[in-house]
A = this chain, B = another copy of it.
Amino acid sequence: MSTGLAPELDAFYQVLQRRRDVRGEFTGEPVPDDVLDRVLGAAHSAPSVGLSQPWDFVLVRSEQTRETFREHVRSERDVFADSLTGERSQTFAKIKVEGVLESSLGVVVTYDPSRGSPAVLGRHAIADAGLYSVCLAIQNLWLAATAEGLGVGWVSFYREEFLASLVGLPDGVRPVAWLCLGPVSELADTPDLERHGWRRRRPLSEAVHHERYDG
């Protein structure tokens, strides 16, 4: 279907539309080094408050580390499941929340608030601005992986202190994400959570306001 856009612009938007949060489709095949370098380079080219680049990427391939993390994620999944009742409980039971072992590697993305301190330009009024920068890097990574034909799954069923200890983060450095990364059999057309009836996406028009929040 033609969008009427220039081919390069069209291809760019297609990457954004193809991107999915992958849990079940990882093949486990290795990621070539040059591809991984480009994907991490994309993350590293993200904007950051005061050019602080407060992110780091810990690449986890060790089976033992991944099995330990997966066990922890399973127990946190149970914590969440126990908070649900009725239809929510049944719907959640069908949903896979991680591909820690099936993916090719884990990328633990961290935030170091001391980077560029004490005077981080643009962070004096908003303490979380450094954390925001790390998320921008994550989205760059996610999109670049998608453009390369890889899948990414953000695992968030964990306690920060557990993951910090698992990969040896120094005091003050905070884990922001465990990203499962690797080749996939396919990228689904519809988000898993929508496909399984957990939640539907809202229309853009509901999210856009004019001049004021009630406008």
A110 at the interface (CB under 8 A from B): yes
Quick one: which of B42, B56, B125 contacts A79, CB cutoff 8 A? B125
Instruction: Find residues 69-126 in chain A having any chain B CB closer than 8 Å to their own CB.
Output: 76, 79-80, 83-84, 88, 92, 95, 97, 110, 116, 119, 121-126
A15 touches B12 (CB 8 A): yes
CA distance A176 to B49 in the complex (A): 13
Instruction: Find residues 1-26 in chain A having any chain B CB closer than 8 Å to their own CB.
Output: 7-9, 11-13, 15-17, 19, 21
Quick one: which of B65, B123, B129 contacts A211, CB cutoff 8 A? B65
A12 touches B147 (CB 8 A): yes
A42 touches B58 (CB 8 A): no
**Number of A positions contacting B (CB below 8 A):** 97
**In the complex, per-residue mask of A201-215: 1 if CB is within 8 Å of any chain B CB, else 0:** 110100111111111
| CB neighbours of A213 from chain B (8 A) | 56, 58, 110, 167-170, 173
**In the complex, per-residue mask of A44-57: 1 if CB is within 8 Å of any chain B CB, else 0:** 11110111110111
Quick one: which of B13, B44, B129, B144 contacts A144, CB cutoff 8 A? B13
B125 touches A158 (CB 8 A): yes
Could you tell me the dominant secondary structure of chain A's interface residues? mixed
A131 at the interface (CB under 8 A from B): yes
| CB neighbours of A209 from chain B (8 A) | 56-59
A30 at the interface (CB under 8 A from B): no
CA distance A138 to B136 in the complex (A): 8
Known contacts A135-B135, A139-B135; is A207 also within 8 Å of B38 by CB? no
A132 touches B135 (CB 8 A): yes
CA distance A121 to B166 in the complex (A): 23
B79 touches A214 (CB 8 A): no
A168 touches B212 (CB 8 A): yes
Known: A12-B15, A16-B144, A168-B213. 16 other contacts (CB 8 A): A12-B12, A16-B143, A50-B198, A52-B199, A53-B202, A58-B213, A65-B211, A79-B124, A80-B122, A80-B125, A122-B156, A126-B158, A131-B131, A136-B142, A167-B211, A169-B213
